[in-house]
């Protein structure tokens, strides 16, 4: 089984975890990408949304689970075939929420290219943008270094 272990700088990552945890609380009851299911039977739409929300919560829980006591002792997180898909989805959900909640003023092109002058950002926006880039990097690491077939299921 392929496995990636990444050593992270605790002083840099710890504040970003606060941002992720805050957004995770909001994701417990709301989908990162809300669905417009107006054409469906309301019961079916509620059930479908409920299943998606449950899966999203499981994914975000898996992401946060990487940052356990061992992480705070060693500074290492590990990605493998068992958690890769879930972590990629959780990163996407949190990044969507970051865009919606904090990063709209930066615009999509700046977010995707990372072409932002950090010195011009106030502290909350800088922290949110740094978190956005961190999660994008996690996604890229997983996609580049683990077998792509695990992401195709």
pLDDT in tens, 49-93: 899 999 999 999 999 999 999 999 999 999 998 999 999 999 999
In the block, tokens 């898996």 appear at 62
Q: What is the pLDDT along the chain (153 residues), one digit of tens a residue?
A: 789 999 999 999 999 999 999 999 999 999 998 877 667 787 887 888 899 999 999 999 999 999 999 999 999 999 998 999 999 999 999 999 999 999 999 988 888 888 898 999 999 999 999 999 999 999 999 999 886 655 555
The number of C-alpha atoms within 13 Å of 66 and in the hemisphere containing its C-beta is 31
Q: Which two tokens stand for residue 129?
A: 């943008």
Segments forming the whole domain that contains residue 16: 3-151
How many structural domains comprise the chain?
A: 1
């Amino acid at each position: 089984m392929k496995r990636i272990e990444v050593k992270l700088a605790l002083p840099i990552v710890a504040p970003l975890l606060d941002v992720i945890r805050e957004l995770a609380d909001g994701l417990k009851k709301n989908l990162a990408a809300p669905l417009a299911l107006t054409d469906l039977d309301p019961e079916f739409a509620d059930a479908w949304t409920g299943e998606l929300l449950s899966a999203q919560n499981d994914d975000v829980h898996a992401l946060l689970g990487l940052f356990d006591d061992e992480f705070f002792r060693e500074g290492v997180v590990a990605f493998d075939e068992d958690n890769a898909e879930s972590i990629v989805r959780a990163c996407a959900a949190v990044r969507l929420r970051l865009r919606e909640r904090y990063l709209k003023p930066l615009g999509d092109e700046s977010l995707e290219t990372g072409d932002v002058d950090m010195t011009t950002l106030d502290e909350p926006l800088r922290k949110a943008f740094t978190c956005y880039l961190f999660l994008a990097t996690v996604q890229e690491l997983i996609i580049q270094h683990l077998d792509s077939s695990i992401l195709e299921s």
